[in-house]
Amino acid sequence: MASGKKQVTMATIAEEAGLGRTTVGYVLNGKAAERGIPEQTAQRVFEIAERLDYVPNEAARDLRTQRSGLIGVLFQSLGAEWPVRVIQGLQDVLFQTEDYHPLITAHGHDPALEEREIQFLLRRRVEAIICSATAMSDTFRTILKRRIPLVFIGHAMPEMPEASSVLFDDRKAIKAGVRRLVEQGRRRIAYLGWDFPEGYFQNRHDGFREALEESGLECREKWFEIVLHGESPEAAVRRMFSGSGQRPDAVFSGLWRMALGALETIEDLGLRLPEDVALITLEDHLACRLKRIGISTVHQPIEEIGRQAARTALDLIASPHSGAIRRLIYDCEVIDRRTTIGQGR
Amino acid sequence: MASGKKQVTMATIAEEAGLGRTTVGYVLNGKAAERGIPEQTAQRVFEIAERLDYVPNEAARDLRTQRSGLIGVLFQSLGAEWPVRVIQGLQDVLFQTEDYHPLITAHGHDPALEEREIQFLLRRRVEAIICSATAMSDTFRTILKRRIPLVFIGHAMPEMPEASSVLFDDRKAIKAGVRRLVEQGRRRIAYLGWDFPEGYFQNRHDGFREALEESGLECREKWFEIVLHGESPEAAVRRMFSGSGQRPDAVFSGLWRMALGALETIEDLGLRLPEDVALITLEDHLACRLKRIGISTVHQPIEEIGRQAARTALDLIASPHSGAIRRLIYDCEVIDRRTTIGQGR
DNA sequence: CTGTTAGCGCCTTCAT
DNA sequence: ATGAAGGCGCTAACAG
């Protein structure tokens, strides 16, 4: 393989031990007892294996057993904070199984690469694929056609009802955040959202409107800003606070980046946080947690998405004929930092 | 495999096309021309493959060719910022090859898991392993014994001269940082380091002393603080600034986390940055780049470590008998932010 | 131009 | 209690 002398295989061990391959195979797979192979023989086999630095060949095993023990994991990019945390959740679960490992890939928003990477996963015969939703790609269809369990995380893909998904209950989180603002006496709550090309965040936008309604507040269009892709949040915030009429006394942001922009802009306008304006955001990013930034957030446990996605994949592998599984992660926690009136944290 | 009808293999295609497996095999591997197979036949094979959703089986291919096309990548944790950026660099290079893919793993500082994961990589017959150095583990010896190229990143492992490595030239970076401080008129420069258990950062500590020496400054022990594992940087900084004697007029920090602590503490002490004290750090972490934090840094291109590590691995695979390759990444750039006197950025 | 053949290393049924 | 044998899907040397 790497070089040098020949590989050590089960045959090598069998020969060395003066046994048949079969016996060795059973011993090495921990089925010695089951086949009535004497303890002593097993012992000897293990010793020889150790001495010879035997390492089983997964390719051969996969080929023979028609399974790979791999779960494909496909992200657009690993650069953001959340993919990494999702992966940690995945590993929490997969490390326990002993049987499954993630095969992690990213495509950097490049459709050609995406296709290639999916092919890669298929060639390796991954038994399930966990991925973040992207623009509809035909390649996903290929996955389903081969009847490989597909689990979307982060956002659902409504065009693919056959696929499973594990998502945050964003509406619930938004309501919790808005409720906190209302508790703190805010009545003029603005919204700062982002217009991702595929409209993935529609759910958040709608959730905000619903939340206001539930609190008996009106949603003024002037205070409902959807920042376009490529546009800076700063402009949106300035617009929101411009004019001589009433100003918002709170801003709910759907993304941490926008919240950071809002923080800057609001202070630039000479307003004080949280006295004049409160600010709260989804996505409890590291930046929000830093003492000098301290943006209050509705914290959602990203690792839990990973854990549930792993479990979902395993469930689907175990019973391939069950329908799609859809899970919502309801957990969320409002964390008061500098930008809301809380006891801090 | 997943379920349902039988797998589509080359044999299926051969049968469907009324050809021999060999012919199909050559066509599918793009060696039709080389073997003088008529364009038309090739065309037909491709069509059938497409129609049948044929996906080659890597396990079979690996078994046959005795290579896996996988490069193992092992981190302690993916949670920090730099592993992810290293991976992006790796992918930059590997995506170009078409032939190699990373197989990414982490073990969360758990030696038992580390061992298991290395076993996992070996069973999959990765052709090289790229990993961040940890406490000396015997498992690494196993890797070398099997003559699998091993590339350390981040820190060298002096105990293993047979292993390759790709590292930053921290000394050079530190000198650049110190030089900038000196240019700005600082003469009483303190150092804030961290005592990682294995003493990996000794290199940085020494580099700082050297840098001072080169600038003709003395290194006062009071201003040379190595924060112990688990201790807070705050205490160290307070110590450094305590007493009635002279105070440092600049702090060089070896880690962004410490720099952040220093920033807080220095301001808590009623000192102004950068007027009273300048602050500069290694590790250009996101937190340093945020406008409200704005810690000046000596920026090192982490992605480049990934790229070079990938190239090193590929080189070693290509010529397994060459000795260890050691690469230093010299690039670094001093970035002035709020905590030094620069034109900002 | 195309086919036959012999494995790669492992699992597993069947025979002894 | 142990072994022989066949085959998973693919490649490549060797015939035709």
Task: Summarize pLDDT for B122-176 with one digit per residue, the tens.
Answer: 999 999 999 998 766 777 888 998 999 999 998 888 888 899 999 999 999 999 9
Q: Looking at residue B136, what DSSP letter applies? A: -
pLDDT digits (tens, 9 = 90+) for A7-42: 899 999 998 888 888 899 999 988 888 878 888 888
Spatial CB neighbours of B141, under 8 Å, sequence gap ≥ 6: none
Give the distance, in angstroms, between residue A122 CA and nucleotide D13 C1'.
30
DSSP state, residue B6: P
- pLDDT for residue A294: 96
Note the pLDDT of residue B172.
96
Percent of chain A with pLDDT over 70: 96
Q: How many CB atoms lie within 10 A of CB A145?
A: 9
d(CA B149, CA B188): 45
Band (pLDDT 50/70/90 cuts) for residue A116 is very high
Please report the pLDDT score of residue A229 as a whole number: 83
Spatial separation of the C-alpha atoms in residues A318 and A312, rounded to whole Å: 10
Mean pLDDT of chain B: 91
More confidently predicted of B181 and A41: B181
Mean pLDDT of B317-337: 94
Given a cut of 70, whether residue A5 has pLDDT beyond it is no
The reply to whether B61 has its C-beta less than 7 Å from any atom of strand D is yes
Instruction: Report pLDDT for A7.
Output: 84
Q: Rounded to an integer, what distance in angstroms lies between the CA atom of residue B265 and that of residue B268?
A: 5
Q: Which residue would you say has higher pLDDT here, B290 or A32? A: B290
Contacts of B58 in chain A (CB under 8 A): 59, 123-125
Dist. CA B312–CA B318, nearest whole Å: 10
- Distance in Å from D6's C1' to A22's CA comes to 13
pLDDT at A282 > cutoff 90: yes
Model confidence at B214: pLDDT above 50: yes
- Tens-place pLDDT, residues B248-258: 999 999 999 99
Give the distance between the most distant pair of CA atoms in chain A: 93
Q: Does residue A238 register a pLDDT over 50? A: yes
Helix (H, G, I), strand (E, B) or coil at B337: coil
For residues B259 and B191, what is the distance between their CA atoms, to the nearest angstrom? Answer: 10
Cβ A37 to strand C below 7 Å: no
Which strand (E) or helix (H) includes residue B259?
Answer: helix B256-268
CA of A28 to C1' of C14 (A): 21
CB B191 within 8 A of CB B252: yes
Average pLDDT estimate for B304-330: 95
pLDDT at B312 over 50: yes
Query: Residue B1 pLDDT > 90, yes or no?
Result: no
Give the pLDDT score at A341: 82
In this prediction, residue A1 has a pLDDT band, given cuts at 50, 70 and 90, of: very low
pLDDT tens string B34-75: 777 888 888 889 999 999 999 999 999 999 999 999 999 999
Tokens at residue A229, please? 């892709």
Q: Which of A55-69, A169-183, B147-161 has the lowest mean pLDDT?
A: B147-161
For chain A, the average pLDDT equals: 91
Tell me if B101 and A101 make a contact (CB, 8 A cut-off): no
Q: Which nucleotide is nearest to A14 (CA to C1')?
A: D3
Mean pLDDT score, A150-169: 90
- Give A220→chain B minimum CA distance, Å: 31
The arithmetic mean of pLDDT across residues B286-309, rounded, is: 97
Among residues of chain A, what percentage have pLDDT more than 90?
Answer: 73
User: What is the C-alpha to C-alpha distance for residues A327 and B327, in angstroms, rounded to an integer?
Assistant: 47
